[in-house]
Amino acid sequence: MTAAAMAQDKPVKIGFVSTFSGPTAVIGNDMRNAFELALDHLGRKIGGRPVEVIYEDDGQKPDIGRQKSEKLVQSDKVDFVVGYIWSNVLLASLKPVIDSGTFLISANAGPSQVAGELCSPFFFTTSWQNDQTPAAIGEYMNQKGIKSLYLLGPNYAAGKDILGGVKSVFKGKIAGEDYTKWPDHLDFSAELSKVRAAKPDALFVFYPGAADVQFLNQLNQAGLRGQIPLYTAFTIDALSLPRQGDLALGVPGTQHWVADLPNDANKTFVADFKAKYKAYPSFYAAQTYDAANLINSAVSAVKGDTSKKDAMRRADYLSVRGPYRYNNNHFPIQDFYLQDVVKDADGVLTLKTAATVVKDAQDNFAGKCAMKW
């Protein structure tokens, strides 16, 4: 057997780091489900080669995420590392992966540091830079003529990025801004009292995971649900809707992907995901499905030679969000949509595209990235 033939028989090894335990394991499991579905669609091969996936649980802790990432590149000798829900976990894990010359594809977290001064030829994302989605809702609030805004979010890397993203475009007055302890601050009575006193035209919140339904319940109990319009990013999605129920109705948000986008790749993804897992996919799932297809496109382009992976820059695959391209920092340039919460024909809550808010959105940090094409 020739060396080339032997290489084609050798599995492509992929390490997958996400949260598979604790309250936020629902996100990690959704991502894993989407990755497995993508592999099914690819015939369980990457670039024509067998594939081996090693799943590692970061426990939503940066130090554990780093340990698991180091294991994958140092002991398991993976060709790619994928996953990462949380920005603080990604920031802790980035250096050992890229220093080893292994490609890291974030399927969710997009901290500003990695888009800017920490950008690397070995890093790509199939999601967004953290600021982009909230910047889109900020632009929508401008279109609605909102003059004053109160902001609430968790005190960690993504929380700061996301509130900063809203402020980067919002043209009105910031009536107040609070960062709460993450992830165990679940009593928002003090913050809601401050919101009531400030009397803003609108309230923006970013609370993922277990905090989302707690916040919506307390907002409703405080009598503010109908008084102050609520806008969100990453707080209402396919995973949180079953918990939130009707509390989520009428709360607008933005995303780069919505389940009803009409391209053929997305129709197949959503239909097959629902058939296999009996639920709508989340944006986490969509991004992770794309990550598998991005890797496949790169390995296919270099005819299975995983030492040559810069083909990922082309994003030469059918993304479920529709066409996009990579900026110099390897973050997507892409459209963002307004999403509304609706009930489908079976009475199940889901998200529907209401409008295109921003076209070809670029992040604010690419200019700080020294990489050139």
Within a domain: 356: no
Based on the fold, state whether residues 235 and 136 are members of the same structural domain. Answer: yes
Output the domain CATH number for residue 82.
Answer: 3.40.50.2300
Answer yes or no: is 351 within a domain.
Answer: no
Q: What integer is the mean pLDDT of 131-147?
A: 97
- Range of 50's domain? 3-128+259-335+362-368
Tell me: do 216 and 315 sit in the same domain: no
Q: What is the mean pLDDT of residues 143-151?
A: 98
On the question of pLDDT at 2 being above 70, the answer is no
pLDDT of residue 241: 95
Q: How far is CA 138 from the centre of its chain?
A: 18
Tell whether 196 and 247 lie within a shared domain.
yes
| pLDDT(8) > 90 | no
Q: Is the domain of 284 the same as that of 207?
A: no
The tens digit of pLDDT for each residue in 303-325 reads 877 766 677 888 999 999 999 99
**168 shares its domain with 191:** yes
Helix, coil or strand: residue 4:
helix
Mean pLDDT of the chain: 94
Report how many domains make up the chain: 2
The pLDDT of residue 100 is above 50: yes
Peptide bond preceding 183 in cis form (omega within 30 of 0) = yes
Query: Which tens digit of pLDDT belongs to each residue from 110-133?
Result: 999 999 999 999 999 999 999 999
Whether residue 269 is contained in a domain is answered as: yes
AA identity, residue 237 = D
* Contact (Cβ atoms closer than 8 angstroms) between residue 251 and residue 236: yes
Give the three-state DSSP class for 200: coil
Among 190, 224, 255, identify where a domain stops: 255
- Domain membership of residue 164 (yes or no) is yes
Q: Does residue 123 share a domain with residue 12?
A: yes
In a domain, 349, yes or no: no
- Shared domain check, 274 and 204: no
Q: In 3D, which of 103, 105, 99, 123 has the Cα closest to residue 113?
A: 123
249, 265: one domain: no
Query: For 35-69, what is each residue's pLDDT tens digit?
Result: 999 999 999 999 999 999 999 999 999 999 999 99
Q: Is residue 350 part of a domain?
A: no
Question: Is 340 part of any domain?
Answer: no
Examine the fold and report which residue of 255, 280, 303 is the final residue of a domain before the chain moves on.
255
In terms of domains, do 16 and 120 share one? yes
Q: 349 is written with which tokens?
A: 């809550």
Both 141 and 202 in one domain: the answer is yes
Distances from the Cα of 368 to the Cα of 30, 43, 112, 355, angstroms? 33, 40, 10, 31
Q: Which one of 232, 255, 278 terminates a domain?
A: 255
**Segment 196-250, tens digit of pLDDT:** 999 999 999 999 877 999 999 999 999 999 899 999 999 999 999 999 999 999 9
Whether residue 54 is found in the same domain as residue 161: no
Q: Is the pLDDT of residue 328 over 50?
A: yes
Q: Specify whether 146 is located in the same domain as 241.
A: yes
Note whether residue 74 is domain-resident. yes
Q: What is the CA angle 91-191-256, rounded to 5? A: 45
pLDDT of residue 303: 86
C-alpha distances in Å from residue 272, one per residue of 20, 186, 217, 345, 368: 23, 36, 33, 18, 40
**Residue 221: per-residue pLDDT:** 96
The helix or strand, by DSSP H or E, that contains position 204, with its residue range, turns out to be strand 202-205
